[in-house]
């Protein structure tokens, strides 16, 4: 794999992860300030940091107390590098603790929205009100800082809510500037990255495209042929468009129609890529093969495996049509990169991506999105001229509607689900909620119930509507859709989709539920 060298060169803010829930959010906020940021583990040494020569460093929050055995520390030599450092929550406590300050063990914590009083605006808080709301989530509290630090703000339970020693390039905030509940949080992050670190706001999607095009050209060379499996999702679409910009007609896309796509989706993909983007596309009609292999398969994991396996077979057959292809595009995103670099998480589901290809695949991977968050991928897509229908398409699982049908997947059941799903998506769109809702779709739970329609007894399928809000799919809340909207969806589904006589709404968040039903 030659993608390791596809790293960002230029101004970087490193976010040192101390086990925070919010490390990714911090990195994203820095990028919103148009400065590139990357997450690194807290085991990183000062020498390794010096090697990277970052423009600034942010120490994240974390669940531990600096007083417990084994609490993660920062290599203290980092404070001598002359690189500005901002500590957030645990990160701030650590800066205080490692620089002759005191972190006290409170008898109670401070959680949620809190009013903070700013005594001295200093450099970080300058331009923000004397009294402001901040989001707190801590038990210990900094009680003292060394003489060369200035305490700039306090709350009732945090005598040192913010401090700084600008001459030393050290800054700390006990609260969470990265969360939406801290109104002046982004301002503080921007003060840090732009003013304290002096970073330029030049991480734009146009610059990302230029850099990646350059890197792809270097990787693939003058004659290499590249293939890309399009899944219909935004990631593979944007990755393909980016690679196309770099290598032109040396890219061939393969689109496998599994028969498990949403209504109208296959046509739209083919239309967009062939006709609008002028990208060579091999359209494999493989629905029959998928349905054949799914006969009698009801266990969710077995279903996922069957679909994944068939996908690989079909893809491997198609790739022989592209003579001399040596490179394979994958739409791997930064959160996947971070996750694969962290401790094993319990396997909840075996995710099938288009990239769920076998280990012995004989291609070199091209992963032009591996530094990007989802919202950045969308912005790159728009910048590359992809239509909104592709760029703003909701995430869609690799196994498609197969994991939204409980029990056996048959063409008939897929057709019922597609019709109901289309209504859900149309009504979300009509209500102007496309961008607020992370995913909205229909599920066929395989339950029949008794109903009455036109004085006749019915015994037919139920449809479950699932709609969630989320930032990253790791956690999600069920969307509080207006009753009127739910009512319209329900009426339309029952009237327009034959074989359905009941509609229910799923009000489970993640956790404990997952977004998909299987
Ligand atoms: P769950 O159901 O695990 O889903 O809460 C989290 C997000 O991942 C999507 N998903 C998948 N995406 N291959 C994918 O590429 C898969 O096998 C897969 N399974 C779930 C799901 O739609 C949600 O956005």
228 is catalytic: no
For the cut 80, the answer to whether the pLDDT of residue 361 exceeds it is no
Long-range CB contact pairs, 159-165, < 8 A, 24+: 160/96, 160/101, 161/116, 161/134, 162/116, 162/118, 162/122, 162/124, 162/125, 163/92, 163/96, 164/122, 164/123, 164/124
For the cut 80, the answer to whether the pLDDT of residue 359 exceeds it is no
Distance of CA 343 to the CA centre of its chain: 18
Per-residue model confidence (pLDDT) at position 355: 40
Residue of the CA atom closest to atom 6 of ligand 1: 473
Name the residue of 354, 397, 402 to mutate for ligand 1: max ligand atoms within 8 A of Cβ: 397
Per-residue model confidence (pLDDT) at position 316: 86
Give the CATH number of domain 205-391: 3.40.50.620
Name the residue of 237, 472, 516 to mutate for ligand 1: max ligand atoms within 8 A of Cβ: 516
- Give the Cα separation of 107 and 111 in Å (integer): 13
Q: Going along 139-250, which residue ranges are E strands? A: 141-144, 150-154, 162-165, 170-173, 225-230
86 CA from centroid of ligand 1 (Å): 34
| Mean per-residue pLDDT, 236-241 | 96
Per-residue model confidence (pLDDT) at position 7: 62
Q: Residue 328 belongs to what H/E stretch?
A: strand 325-329
Structure tokens at 100: 């002759």
**60-76 pLDDT, tens digit each:** 999 888 999 989 999 99
CATH topology for 404-505 is GMP Synthetase; Chain A, domain 3 (3.30.300)
Residue of the CA atom closest to atom 9 of ligand 1: 397
515 CA from centroid of ligand 1 (Å): 7
pLDDT band at 187 (very low <50, low <70, confident <90, very high): very high
| Mean per-residue pLDDT, 453-482 | 93
Evaluate whether 156 touches 163 at the Cβ level (below 8 Å).
no
Per-residue model confidence (pLDDT) at position 357: 55
Active-site position among 42, 97, 138, 176: 176
Per-residue model confidence (pLDDT) at position 340: 64
For the cut 90, the answer to whether the pLDDT of residue 77 exceeds it is yes
For the cut 70, the answer to whether the pLDDT of residue 412 exceeds it is yes
| Mean per-residue pLDDT, 40-58 | 96
On the 0-12 / 13-18 / 19+ scale of CB atoms within 10 A, 349 is middle
- Whether this prediction's pTM lies above 0.85 is answered by no
For the cut 70, the answer to whether the pLDDT of residue 342 exceeds it is no
Reference 427, options 478, 473, 487, 477; nearest CA is: 487
Reference 228, options 310, 312, 327, 323; nearest CA is: 327
Using CA atoms, how far residue 478 sits from 83, 180, 469, 513, in Å, is: 42, 19, 6, 10
- Give the Cα separation of 398 and 109 in Å (integer): 43
pLDDT band at 20 (very low <50, low <70, confident <90, very high): confident
CATH number of 9-196: 3.30.450.20, 1.25.40.10, 3.40.50.880, 3.40.640.10? 3.40.50.880
| Mean per-residue pLDDT, 270-274 | 90
User: Which of 63-72, 162-171, 274-283 tops mean pLDDT?
Assistant: 162-171
3-state secondary structure of 351: coil
**Ligand 1 binding residues, C-beta < 6 A:** 349, 351-353, 395, 397-399, 439, 473, 510, 514-516
Residues in the chain, total: 518
For the cut 50, the answer to whether the pLDDT of residue 5 exceeds it is no
For the cut 80, the answer to whether the pLDDT of residue 338 exceeds it is no
Structure tokens at 389: 């229908």
Nearest atom in ligand 1 to 517's CA: 2
For the cut 70, the answer to whether the pLDDT of residue 3 exceeds it is no
178 is catalytic: yes
Active-site position among 178, 265, 427, 518: 178
Percent of the chain surpassing pLDDT 70: 94
How many distinct helices (H) and strands (E) make up the chain?
Answer: 14, 21
The domains spanning 205-391 and 404-505 adopt the same CATH topology: no
Name the residue of 230, 348, 354, 395 to mutate for ligand 1: max ligand atoms within 8 A of Cβ: 395
Least confident of 333-347, 431-445, 476-490: 333-347
89 is catalytic: yes
350 CA from centroid of ligand 1 (Å): 9
- Sorted by where each begins, the domain ranges of the chain are 9-196, 205-391, 404-505
User: Which of 256-260, 270-274, 346-350 tops mean pLDDT?
Assistant: 256-260
| Mean per-residue pLDDT, 334-357 | 58
Active-site position among 11, 89, 228, 367: 89
Q: Check residues 121 and 415 and name the one with the higher pLDDT.
A: 415
Per-residue model confidence (pLDDT) at position 1: 37
**Helical segments of 351-480, H only:** 374-383, 388-391, 411-430
Evaluate whether 67 touches 98 at the Cβ level (below 8 Å).
no
């Amino acid at each position: 794999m030659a993608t390791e060298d596809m790293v960002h060169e230029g101004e970087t803010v490193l976010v040192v992860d101390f086990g925070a829930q919010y490390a990714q959010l911090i990195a994203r906020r820095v990028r919103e300030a148009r400065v590139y940021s990357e997450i690194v583990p807290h085991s990183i040494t000062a020498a390794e940091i010096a090697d990277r020569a970052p423009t600034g460093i942010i120490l994240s929050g974390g669940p531990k107390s600096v007083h417990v055995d084994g609490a993660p520390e920062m290599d203290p030599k980092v404070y001598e590098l002359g690189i500005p450092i901002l500590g957030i929550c645990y990160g701030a406590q650590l800066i205080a603790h490692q620089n002759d300050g005191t972190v006290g063990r409170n008898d109670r914590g401070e959680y949620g929205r809190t009013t903070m009083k700013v005594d001295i605006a200093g450099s970080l808080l300058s331009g923000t009100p004397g009294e402001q709301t901040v989001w707190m989530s801590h038990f210990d509290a900094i009680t003292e800082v060394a003489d060369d630090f200035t305490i700039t703000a306090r709350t009732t339970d945090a005598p040192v809510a913010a401090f700084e020693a600008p001459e030393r390039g050290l800054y700390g905030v006990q609260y969470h500037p990265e969360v939406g509940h801290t109104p002046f949080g982004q301002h503080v992050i921007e003060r840090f990255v732009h003013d304290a670190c002096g970073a330029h706001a030049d991480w734009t999607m146009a610059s990302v495209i230029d850099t990646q095009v350059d890197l792809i050209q270097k990787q693939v060379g003058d004659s290499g042929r590249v293939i890309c499996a399009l899944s219909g999702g935004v990631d593979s679409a944007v990755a393909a468009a980016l690679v196309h910009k770099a290598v032109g007609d040396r890219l061939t896309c393969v689109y496998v129609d599994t028969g498990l796509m949403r209504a109208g989706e296959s046509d739209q993909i083919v239309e967009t890529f062939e006709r609008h983007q002028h990208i060579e596309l091999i359209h494999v009609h493989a629905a029959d093969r998928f349905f054949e292999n799914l006969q009698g398969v009801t266990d969710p994991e077995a279903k996922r495996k069957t679909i994944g396996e068939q996908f690989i077979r079909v893809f491997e057959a198609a790739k022989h049509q592209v003579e001399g292809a040596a490179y394979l595009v994958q739409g791997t995103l930064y959160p996947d990169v971070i996750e694969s670099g962290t401790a094993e998480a319990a396997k909840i589901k075996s995710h099938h991506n288009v990239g769920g290809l076998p280990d012995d695949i004989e291609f070199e991977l091209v992963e032009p999105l591996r530094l990007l968050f989802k919202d950045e991928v969308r912005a790159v897509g728009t910048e590359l001229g992809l239509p909104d229908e592709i760029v703003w398409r909701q995430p869609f699982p690799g196994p498609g509607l197969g994991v939204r049908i409980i029990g056996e997947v048959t063409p008939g059941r897929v057709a019922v689900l597609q019709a109901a799903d289309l209504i859900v998506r149309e009504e979300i769109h009509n209500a102007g909620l496309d961008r607020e809702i992370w995913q909205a779709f229909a599920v066929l739970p395989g339950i029949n119930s008794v109903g009455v329609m036109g004085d006749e007894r019915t015994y037919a399928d139920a449809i479950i509507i699932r709609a969630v809000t989320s930032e990253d799919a790791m956690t999600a809340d069920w969307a509080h859709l207006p009753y009127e909207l739910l009512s319209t969806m329900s009426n339309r589904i029952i009237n327009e989709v034959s074989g359905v006589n009941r509609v229910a709404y799923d009000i489970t968040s993640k956790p404990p539920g997952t977004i998909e039903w299987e």
